[in-house]
Amino acid sequence: MTEAPPERLVLTADDVRRAVARLAQEIRERDDGRGALLLVGLRTRGIPLAARLRRHLEEFSGGSVALGRLDPTLYRDDLRLGRPRLEPTDVPVDVSGRRVVLVDDVLFTGRTARAALNAIMDLGRPALVQLAVLVDRGHRELPIQADFVGQTLTTTREQRVAVRFRESDGRDEVVLVDHAARTPTR
């Protein structure tokens, strides 16, 4: 029986919630009117994160904020290696003319964000697309940057960053896992 690799807690539940709150605040502050906001959560944990951000933003504004979910798998650049299971994509409003904020838990190589960007562009012509992530762990392989970052982490390429939310995993935390020979996918 293999042991679970050792984990190191880098963000506690409080840290996570503060970071989420801060993200929501920044998103609200940098609204320059270039289109109504649409939050789009990327599978898998971008979705609960986007839902939390929506709650915060709706509290701020008192109105409703559009929310969608996106699985960018069909736009990935590594499908030759395998066929990941597809999650539902559901963007209930037209993206054209909107300010779309893509939401994901971790930004790593940038490949997932690139795929998501291509997917959004096939759905319409947004006025503005931005990227919000809870954790930026560096090691970009494409010219991609996040507009909103909850927390920057220094990591090695071999380490894995695991973001957990109470809705999906039972608790809020971010851990660093020492994991040899892991192929980066983000």
Partner 1 sequence: MPGERSPAAELAALGPDAILRLPAPDGGAPAGPTAVAAPAAIDLPAPPTDSPDEWPGRRHVLDLDDFSAGEIGRVLRTADAMKEILGRPIKQVPALRGLTVVTLFYEASTRTRVSFELAAKRLGADVVNVAASSSSVTKGESLLDTAHTLRALGADVLVMRHSEAGAPYVVAEHVDCMVLNAGDGWHAHPTQALLDLYTLRERLGTIAGRRVVIVGDILHSRVARSAIWGFTKLGAAVTLCGPPTLLPAGELPWPVQVDHDLDRALEGADVVMALRLQRERQQAGLLPSLREYVRLYGLTRERLARARPDAVVMHPGPMNEGVEIMPEVAYGAQSAIADQVTNGVAIRMALLYLLGGGSV
Q: Which residues bind partner 1 (CB under 8 A)?
A: 13-14, 17, 21, 25, 43-44, 47-48, 51-52, 55-56, 59, 69, 71, 73-76, 79, 81-90, 118-119, 122-124, 166-168
Query: Which two structure tokens, joined as six digits, stand for 183?
Result: 């192929």
Which amino acid is located at 131 in the chain? L
Tell me the closest approach of the beta carbon of residue 126 to partner 1, in angstroms: 14
Closest to partner 1 by CB, 122 or 178: 122
Residue pair 162/174 in contact (Cβ under 8 Å)? The answer is yes
Closest to partner 1 by CB, 22 or 139: 22
| Residue partners of 161: CB distance under 8 A and separation at least 6 | 106, 108, 135, 137, 153, 155, 174, 175, 176, 177
Q: How far is CA 120 from CA 39, 116, 128, in A?
A: 12, 6, 11
Closest to partner 1 by CB, 90 or 145: 90
What's 77's DSSP letter? S
Tell me the closest approach of the beta carbon of residue 141 to partner 1, in angstroms: 19
What three-state secondary structure class fits 93? Answer: coil
Residue pair 24/60 in contact (Cβ under 8 Å)? The answer is yes
Tell me the closest approach of the beta carbon of residue 77 to partner 1, in angstroms: 9
CA atoms within 13 A on the CB side of 1: 2
Tell me the closest approach of the beta carbon of residue 88 to partner 1, in angstroms: 6
Closest to partner 1 by CB, 85 or 154: 85
Closest to partner 1 by CB, 118 or 130: 118
Tell me the closest approach of the beta carbon of residue 154 to partner 1, in angstroms: 26
